[in-house]
A and B are shown apart, each in its own frame.
Chain A
Amino acid sequence: MADPEIPERPERPPEATWATLRSIPRGSEVEILREEGIRLLGTLVLTTESPDRRTVQIKLPSGYNLGIRWRDSDRLLAHSPPPPARGNAPVPGHPPPASGSSSGTSGWIGILSTGGTIASRVDYRTGGVRPVQEEGEMLQFYPDLDRDGPVRVIPVLDRLSEEIVPTDWIDLARRVAVCFRDGARGVVVTHGTDTMAYTAAALAFTLSDLPGPVVLVGAQRSPDRPSSDGYPNLLAAVRLARRTDLGEVVVVMHSGLSDQEFAIHRAARVRKMHTSRRDAFRSRNGPPLGILSEETVAWSVRPTAPGPGPVRIDDRIDPRGCLLWVYPGLPADRARAFAEGCRGVIVAGTGLGHTASTHLPWIRNAIRDGAFVGMTSQCLEGAVDPFVYATGRMLLDAGVAFLGDMLPEVAYTKLLLALGRSGRADDVAAAMLRDWSGEVAHRRQVTGQGDP
């Protein structure tokens, strides 16, 4: 489209024009004249610059944005600073509605925010999302949270869940414990969905004698869209957190595509099984604990009753563990190098819990050197079993612990805690084989073709 032979030259040096445009604040009103006589009036949304391209995005009075590839012949005719914020615009960080943080009253629900989609909003400058942190902003975003009683919003982390590290689990567990000690009836944790299942398992393994529910909740659609699942999920989570018949860590998310039923998953049994659907979270090797509808809960498994309190916490952790996914062609050297320096390895094996026999030597050596090696299955459904095939027996003979129907990620999370609790491989092995929080079952009932 650029015509290099346009004779008319801009009045100002082109560099100055671009430099001006780049320096004026986002939100300024600008008027741009292009060489073909097109005059564009709008609000400056952003400017971007790379060695070979300068672009400016403006919002037209019609509401449409358009991108302009800046040419030397383009001219910035006028610009004026951004108008003040509009009247009915709720300002982020504004004090929350009155009842919002009515601390001091008993029976409040703690809402611990960690970041993630459920507590993030679109940054229109970069197109990315940024976390909602303050209580005021949260209650603005999610009015009605305190409809049935007071809530306290407590920012803990400010991270997308893929950025969360194991020590964050411990910080979070301590904050949950503090909530209960301060009189919370229940605790809700808003969390990014990517690694929510890890955090849920970690909380379940770290906290015991819970006097009330700990409910992790997330969103698969960002809250800036009218269809976000974040709001219904969070309302459901807060409703569940007020219940008096639940004393364990659970995950609450959509049970299907509709905004009316929410599955309650046991923390050590749940897995994100879809990249984008609202009902991505599924319980494995059994049904979810129950289904929460607008008014009631239908339990399919009896939940753990609340303890008398006070809540207990075991916050020891040793991050020297790893999770190894084996696959056809994985060289034994590479696997060995990956596991080097680890006090424990969880193998996500094939089928009933296998690796190629080429891996036997390094596994044998690692165990001989005092490491724990535990076997889980990539199948996710069903238990591992060393006795069906020769490979299994060889792995067993090498000292590998077969971890039943424990999910690989859950086993990894548990491993770090088990390593923190004991320096002795035998103790770690014994701990790993013991059921801490419903992560292993000895019985799997017949269900239909699909998922429960």
Chain B
Amino acid sequence: MKAGLEVHQQLRTGKLFCACPTELAEIPRARFHRRLRAAGGETQSVDRAVAFQAARGQRFTYESTDSDCLVEADEEPPHALDAEALRTALLVADLFGARPVDEIVVMRKLVVDGSNTSGFQRTALVATDGNLTVGERTYSIPTICLEEDAARRMGEVDGEPVFRLDRLGIPLIEVATGPEISDGAEARAVAGEIGALLRATRRVRRGIGSIREDLNVSVPGGRRIEIKGVQELRLIGQYVDREVARQTHLLAVRDRLRERDPPPVPEGSHDLTELLRPVGTGPFRELSRKGTVAAALLLPGFAGLLGPTTDDGERLGRELADYARSQGVRGLVHSDELPSYGIDPPLLERIRQELAAGATDGFALVVAPDPGVAARALDRVRERARAAVEGVPEETRDPMPDGRTRYSRPLPGRDRMYPETDVPPRAISPEDLARARADRPERPAARQARLAAAYHLPPELLLKIEREDRLEPFEHLCGLGHPPALVARLLTQEIPTARAAGAAPGPSWTEADLERLLDLVRSGRIAKEGIAPVLARWSEEGGSLESAVGSLTFPPMSREELRERARAIVAENRALLAERGERGVSALMGDLMRAVRGRRDGREVAEELRAAIAASRTESGTP
């Protein structure tokens, strides 16, 4: 088999063709409705994928937010390519050893599913001929592109898809590998490495949906299948392996069909509405509704090939159902599933008679709200069934959460690309390249090694700092002489905890704020244990660090005072200590720490508590 990857990573620069922020927005400010139609490109021929989508005559709703403008609404021409995004793309090209093109030409890639208000996605080839080494192997990176993200699909209202414009125009870097990957595990490793390298630029967005993969898979004798928009890295392997299984199964079905050499799937279909109306259960319950029809298509030679013939559950019946669904029917029943769905053997026999089905013939059956939908759905089923004799049709498929994929549309060809005439070509100068390389990040592996040597922290903690994008403040604060363990805890635990507990949207502490906080610890004004209460108070009150510390400041606590507090707590909780032993000690430690409020070091608190417990046991005579 051959598989290739396209990794799409959102950038957190400005939007690609306007001055909008790249934050997603919660509240729509305005709505409008549009239709899209297929338009001829440079060559004046309409791409098959585009024609397929436009044929639906769909209307779309768009929601405008604070994170979009007239450009996203397709009400203003695009501005020049965002300089930061371009710089980042050139930096990424450099990281993959790719050659930047001399002149970037922004293209329009036709997409009329509504996810782009213009009816196309703007995309540009930035660099070619890169490579990536993962473990022992080196993979080619034929292209690196810079493109705009699509609008967010929010659902449907009355059958009309609703898209939000906040995501539209966020820059995406697309890194594509050659078709050199041989299994799912390898695909996952390569995707992980590409992601790590992109994150190393520190100019990428984080979180769900900020990185998406397209997978191109084909097996010998099969055709190219594109699985579009995989968001979960952990499922990549599964998608690839399942796709291989699916194509292998389809090829096996093809071979069986060829052996049988049946006549082609006939034109026309059979109306079974009257025959099936009395069934009244499952999908046939709908038939009681006026206008609803049941129609069937004879599939000569398909008997036994529609259901599962292998253990992994791949079946042609599901493929036919996906094609039928693309025309608006809810599903499809095929002959290998019957008798079932309330169709008993005698009724099945009558259906077979009606269709004049022979022993090796199968059929497909749809229930549709009107005869037009039924006819269109069966047209697609016929098309798909005829393709089964050829093997695997080229398709774009959607990833499903269970690791399977589902047919979404035909694979687009080159006819869908033509130049974006509103944006002049952008020449790449030596200065552009120098500027991009100026802040070339360390390679992830090299950086891990350096950090481990410099800070002596557990590798998992260092990884966490990196993953949470806190490496910059971490290194800065450590550079000022603060203990790495303390800085790490502040950044990875105490701040996130205080933020989570505080009021939304939460304070945005600057690096300077954190410097002052750590200085207070260094000068002994607060103990390290005092950091959490100070942050909590600060988050609650807003205002300055100093006022938060001020409102938390109690008269300093002497070692003697600490000792007395410890003794008092132990005296009050003798029963608890006797009953719960060590666990009781931890509970008292917590109580005592709260009472101390960071005014003494935790180590001292523990010492005094232990001493008080020891003393109390001596007094009462227990061992």
Contacts and interface: CB of A to CB of B under 8 A. Distances in A.
B45 A227 contact: no
Contact of B419 (A69, A127, A232): A127
Interface in A166-188: none
Given A67-B102, A90-B44, A278-B75, A226 B33 contact: no
A128 B424 CA distance: 11
B37 A69 contact: no
B565 interface: no
Given A124-B419, A257-B32, A276-B75, A227 B118 contact: yes
A78 B102 CA distance: 21
A221 B73 CA distance: 12
A64 B102 contact: no
B421 interface: yes
B119 A64 contact: no
B488 interface: no
B297 interface: no
B183 interface: no
The listed residue with most B CB atoms (<10 A of its CB), out of A64, A87, A122, A260, is A64
Contacts of B417: 59, 62-65
A258 interface: yes
A2 to B, nearest CB: 9
Given A227-B119, A258-B34, A57 B103 contact: yes
B32 A223 contact: no
A96 B530 CA distance: 82
Contact of A55 (B35, B103, B128, B414): B103
B105 A276 contact: no
B33 A258 contact: yes
A275 B418 CA distance: 25
B76 A276 contact: yes
A128 B109 CA distance: 19
B279 interface: no
Interface stretch (B383-391, B425-433, B510-518, B536-544): B425-433
A380 interface: no
B83 interface: no
A69 B414 CA distance: 24
Given A88-B45, A225-B118, A226-B120, A66 B105 contact: yes
A435 interface: no
Contact of B74 (A64, A86, A227, A275): A227
B247 interface: no
Contacts of B349: none
B52 to A, nearest CB: 13
A256 B143 CA distance: 41
Given A63-B109, A221-B74, A277-B75, A259 B425 contact: no
A36 B101 contact: no
B396 interface: no
A63 B108 CA distance: 10
B172 interface: no
Secondary structure of the B side of the interface? mixed
A39 to B, nearest CB: 10
B99 interface: yes
A256 B42 CA distance: 30
B423 to A, nearest CB: 10
A224 B418 CA distance: 10
Contacts of A205: none
A378 to B, nearest CB: 24
B414 A224 contact: no
Contact of B102 (A55, A61, A63, A231): A55
Interface in A273-324: 275-278
A98 interface: no
A224 B425 contact: no
B478 to A, nearest CB: 39
A225 B32 contact: no
Contacts of B117: 227
Given A89-B45, A277-B75, A1 B433 contact: yes
A45 B73 CA distance: 30
A67 B103 contact: yes
Given A225-B108, A276-B70, A68 B102 contact: yes
A332 interface: no
21 contacts: A1-B430, A1-B433, A38-B129, A57-B425, A62-B417, A64-B105, A64-B143, A66-B125, A68-B102, A87-B45, A122-B421, A124-B419, A127-B419, A129-B421, A223-B39, A226-B50, A226-B54, A226-B110, A259-B35, A259-B59, A276-B76
Given A38-B128, A64-B417, 9 more contacts: A38-B99, A57-B103, A59-B42, A63-B109, A64-B107, A67-B427, A85-B43, A224-B418, A225-B39
Interface of B: 30, 32-46, 50, 54, 59, 70, 73-77, 99-105, 107-110, 112, 117-120, 123-125, 128-129, 143, 145, 413-419, 421, 424-425, 427, 430, 433
